[in-house]
């Protein structure tokens, strides 16, 4: 992998782009959903987080307000940020950003930078066009002081990886939810508050440091790991194997921690009450995150997390069917890479 460039400079984002505008809003009743492979199908982009903010695909026939591709897209009330390579239509509260330097490589790079700033807009404060324009980001700079987009492209182009191969295919018919039962988080896990450390009070290091410890915050990215820090003499890292859940920030962002870690503010640990496989934990992680949309407008999950209701498959005794979850997860593509 290429090493990242040196000589970074801070820029006002609005000074880097040619336009920041609201997209024409469409409701789901105004569009015709279709198969992604249908002729003329285009993405319907909304304020959702998963799937690069694409809710579903719609037919473009007789559809007004189609946005051209090669754009940065922000959901202003949810601070969801994505790069849209191809043309699309937008739902409500979607901001479209265009720039001369924008392409797939630079776009994905800047999306990552903007996502690092969205924690400022997690408590009911919308990421409005004025705030987007005034956001400061750091970029590698050329000798003349301009953003060095060529170096960005070279760096991003070097982030290639060997494509993973899998012989397994998903089967939607396998997942039948009609007989699932509702549980509260506290029925399955002991909910524990983390060690509540402040990153700015710690000494940062790198992932390559054998003595470094992962610092897990309230981020929705990078498995929640926002930095690596030096070990603290009187603070024992929390053990790997726990599910971490953000009670604030990117609320309900849930991850399985595969190494010992320290945790930041408003981060909770879910410790299983009975032995649970990695597959089952990942299954439940996905179920928990289905409720993220309920916390988009400043509502936190600090006190309510133990009582959050999730539906799980059950056995003939009405208990969580761990075997079912394991079998389902093992049928998914790439599941052979799960330890």
- C-alpha 242: how far from chain center: 19
Residue reference for tokens 């801070």: 10
Q: What is the pLDDT of residue 188?
A: 97
The tokens describing 287, both together, are 């179920």
**Would you list the DSSP string of 115-174?**
HTTGGGG-SS----HHHHHH-EEEEEB-TTSSB-HHHHHHHHHT---PPP-------GGG
Q: What is the pLDDT of residue 178?
A: 86
Stretch 146-174: mean pLDDT? 74
In 3-state terms, what secondary structure has residue 140? strand
Percent of the chain residues topping a pLDDT of 90: 65
Cβ pair 139, 9 in contact under 8 A: yes
Q: Does the pLDDT of residue 299 top 80, yes or no?
A: no
Mean pLDDT lowest among 50-59, 148-157, 293-302: 293-302
- C-alpha 185: how far from chain center: 21
Stretch 263-290: mean pLDDT? 95
In 3-state terms, what secondary structure has residue 264? strand
Q: Does the pLDDT of residue 170 top 70, yes or no?
A: no
CA atoms within 13 A on the CB side of 323: 3
Q: What is the pLDDT of residue 164?
A: 64
Whole-angstrom Cα distance, residue 203 to residue 228? 9
Q: What is the pLDDT of residue 176?
A: 77
Whole-angstrom Cα distance, residue 26 to residue 268? 37
Higher pLDDT, residue 285 or 330: 285
Catalogue all structural domains in the chain, each as residue range(s) with its CATH number: 8-157 (3.90.220.20), 177-337 (3.90.220.20)
Q: Does the pLDDT of residue 4 top 60, yes or no?
A: no
The tokens describing 138, both together, are 């750091």
pLDDT band at 115 (very low <50, low <70, confident <90, very high): confident
Mean pLDDT of the chain: 89
Stretch 176-194: mean pLDDT? 94
Mean pLDDT lowest among 10-14, 175-179, 240-244: 175-179
Backbone angles phi, psi at 96, to 5 degrees: -115, 130
User: What are the tens digits of pLDDT across the range 207-246?
Assistant: 888 889 999 998 888 899 989 999 999 999 999 999 999 9
Q: Does the pLDDT of residue 171 top 90, yes or no?
A: no
pLDDT band at 122 (very low <50, low <70, confident <90, very high): low
Q: What is the pLDDT of residue 293?
A: 75
Higher pLDDT, residue 170 or 219: 219
Stretch 91-102: mean pLDDT? 96
Whole-angstrom Cα distance, residue 80 to residue 73? 8
Cβ pair 42, 67 in contact under 8 A: no
The tokens describing 263, both together, are 């945790």
Whole-angstrom Cα distance, residue 226 to residue 248? 15
pLDDT band at 177 (very low <50, low <70, confident <90, very high): confident
Stretch 169-182: mean pLDDT? 72
User: What are the tens digits of pLDDT across the range 37-80?
Assistant: 899 999 999 988 888 999 999 999 889 999 999 999 999 888 88
Distances (CA, A) of 307 to 2, 206, 281: 45, 37, 18
Cβ pair 148, 139 in contact under 8 A: yes
Cβ pair 116, 215 in contact under 8 A: no
Look at residues 57, 55, 114, 122 and name the one whose alpha carbon lies nearest to residue 81. Answer: 114
């Amino acid at each position: 992998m290429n090493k990242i460039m040196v000589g970074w400079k801070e820029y006002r984002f609005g000074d880097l782009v040619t336009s920041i505008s609201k997209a024409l809003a469409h409701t789901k009743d105004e569009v015709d959903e279709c198969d992604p492979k249908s002729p003329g199908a285009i993405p319907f982009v909304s304020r959702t987080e998963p799937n690069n903010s694409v809710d579903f695909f719609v037919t473009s026939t007789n559809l007004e307000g189609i946005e051209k591709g090669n754009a940065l897209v922000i959901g202003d009330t949810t601070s969801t940020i994505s790069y849209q390579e191809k043309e699309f239509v937008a739902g409500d509260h979607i901001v479209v950003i265009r720039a001369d330097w924008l392409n797939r490589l630079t776009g994905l790079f800047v999306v990552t930078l903007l996502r690092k700033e969205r924690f400022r807009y997690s408590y009911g404060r919308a990421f409005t066009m004025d705030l987007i324009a005034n956001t400061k980001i750091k970029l590698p700079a050329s000798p003349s002081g301009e953003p060095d987009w060529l170096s960005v492209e070279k760096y991003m182009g070097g982030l290639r990886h060997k494509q993973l191969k899998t012989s397994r295919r998903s089967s939607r018919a396998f997942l039948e939810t009609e007989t699932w039962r509702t549980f509260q988080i506290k029925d399955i896990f002991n909910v524990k508050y983390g060690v509540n450390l402040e990153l700015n009070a710690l000494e940062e290091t790198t992932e390559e440091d054998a003595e470094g410890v992962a610092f897990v915050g309230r981020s929705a990215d990078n498995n929640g790991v926002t930095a690596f820090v030096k070990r603290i003499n009187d603070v024992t890292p929390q053990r790997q194997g726990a599910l971490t859940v953000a009670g604030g920030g990117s609320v309900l962002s849930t991850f399985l921690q595969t190494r010992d870690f320290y945790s930041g503010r408003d981060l909770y640990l879910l410790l299983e009450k009975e032995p649970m496989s990695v597959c089952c934990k990942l299954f439940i992680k996905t179920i928990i995150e289905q409720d993220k949309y309920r916390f988009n407008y400043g509502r936190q999950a600090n006190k309510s997390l133990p009582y959050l209701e999730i539906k799980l498959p059950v056995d003939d005794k009405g208990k969580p069917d761990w075997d079912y979850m394991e079998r389902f997860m093992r049928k998914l593509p790439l599941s052979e890479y799960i330890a």
